[in-house]
Amino acid sequence: MDRYAVIGNPIGHSKSPLIHRLFAEQTGEQLTYEALLAPLDDFAGCLRAFLLEGRGVNVTVPFKEQAWVLVDQHSKAAHRAGAVNTIMRLEDGTLLGDNTDGKGLVRDIQANAGFPLAGLKVLLLGAGGAARGVIQPLLDAGPKHLCVVNRTVSKAEELAALFVDQGPISASGFDWIEESVDLIINATSASLGGEVPDISPKLIRPGHTLCYDMMYASEATPFNRWAAEHGAARCMDGLGMLVEQAAEAFLLWRGVRPDTAPVLAALRG
Ligand code: NDP
C-alpha cells in the first residue's frame, strides 16, 4: 500500500483523510492516508521521517512556507505562492513541491459554480498566505482585473508587486473602492473571529456579484451572511476549494482525477 499523509498543527479537525479515503474508494487506487501532528519546532523531522516510506504529503497550517524551503523542486504555482501544500517523492528521492490551493479555488468557481473568470472584475480580500496562494491561478484564468484589497495596505501592495508581470493586478485599501465588481473572494481570516472585512456594500451589484469565502463552516460564514444581506447573486464557502485542491493533489500523486461532486455532497451531508 502506498502511504500518504497530511501534516499540520493542529490536525485533529482535518477533513483530508476522509476526502482521500473517498477518492481512493471511488478510483480503486490502493493507498492509505493518515493525519500527522508535527511538533511546531520540528516539521522538517516529521516530514523526513514520513517520506522515508511515504509517497507524498499534504501540508497545512502553519507549515506551508517551511515546506517550500524543504522541497527540492517547485511547480510554477508553488514557486509563485511561496508556499507548498502538496509534496510528491519521486523515484530518485527528489521532493517535488506543488501548491494546489489556487487551482482548487478556480476549479470550484469555474467548474462547480459555472462562473467563468475570463473578463471579470475580481476583488481578493486579504494579503496573507491564503491570498498569495491563489493569485497565480486566478490571473491564469484571464480576469479583466484582479485587485488585492487588504486592511494593511502596504501588505496588499507588496503582494500585488510580486505578480505585476503575470497579469492585470493592483492593490487597494478597504475604503478606496466603491464600484461594484463581478466576484469578491474573502481570503482574510476575519470570519474565524466572527468578523467581516470593513468594505463597502456597494462593491456588490445586487443579483450579479458572486461572493466566495475561503473559510467553511456548517452554517453560513459571517462574510457570506453579510454578502447575502446586500444582495449577492450567490455565496459560496471554501469547502469546495478544499475538496478540489485535494483532487489536484490526488491527480499529481496517482495520475487520476477523482470525481469531486459525490465527495463534496458526502461532506456537506
Ligand atoms: P494569514 O494570517 O496569513 O492572513 C490573514 C489575513 O486576514 C491578513 O490579510 C489580515 O489583514 C486579514 N484579516 C485578519 N482579520 C481581519 C479582520 N478582522 N478584518 C479584515 N482583515 C482581517 O491567514 P491565511 O491567509 O493563512 O488564511 C486566511 C483564511 O483562508 C483562513 O480563514 C483560512 O481558513 C482560509 N483558507 C482556506 C482554504 C481552503 O481550502 N478552503 C485554504 C487556505 C486558507 P492584515 O494584513 O491587515 O492583518
Q: Which of 64, 76, 103, 144 is labelled catalytic?
A: 64
Global pTM reads: 0.96
Give the pLDDT confidence of 66-120 residue by residue, as tens digits: 999 999 999 999 999 999 999 999 999 999 999 999 999 999 999 999 999 999 9
C-alpha 24 – ligand 1 centre gap (Å): 31
Q: Are residues 113 and 236 in the same domain?
A: yes
Q: Are residues 151 and 54 in the same domain?
A: no
Q: Are residues 119 and 74 in the same domain?
A: no
Q: Are residues 231 and 157 in the same domain?
A: yes
Position 175 scores a pLDDT of 86
C-alpha 127 – ligand 1 centre gap (Å): 7
Atom of ligand 1 nearest to the CA of 155: 46
Q: How far apart are CA 221 and CA 238, in angstroms?
A: 10
Q: Is 121 a catalytic residue?
A: no
Residue 257 forms part of a structural domain: no
Give the pLDDT confidence of 19-57 residue by residue, as tens digits: 999 999 999 999 999 999 999 999 999 999 999 999 999
Which cell goes with 246? 485535494
Is 15 annotated in a binding site? The answer is: yes
Number of domains within the chain:
2
Give the pLDDT confidence of 112-144 residue by residue, as tens digits: 999 999 999 999 999 998 999 999 999 999 999
Q: Where are the beta strands (DSSP E) in 111-247?
A: 121-125, 145-149, 169-172, 183-186, 210-213, 234-237
Q: Rounded mean pLDDT of 193-206?
A: 95
Residue 265 forms part of a structural domain: no
The one-letter amino acid code at 86 reads: T
For residue 199, the domain's CATH number is 3.40.50.720
pLDDT at 234 > cutoff 90: yes
Q: Are residues 126 and 235 in the same domain?
A: yes
Structural domain of 87: 2-99
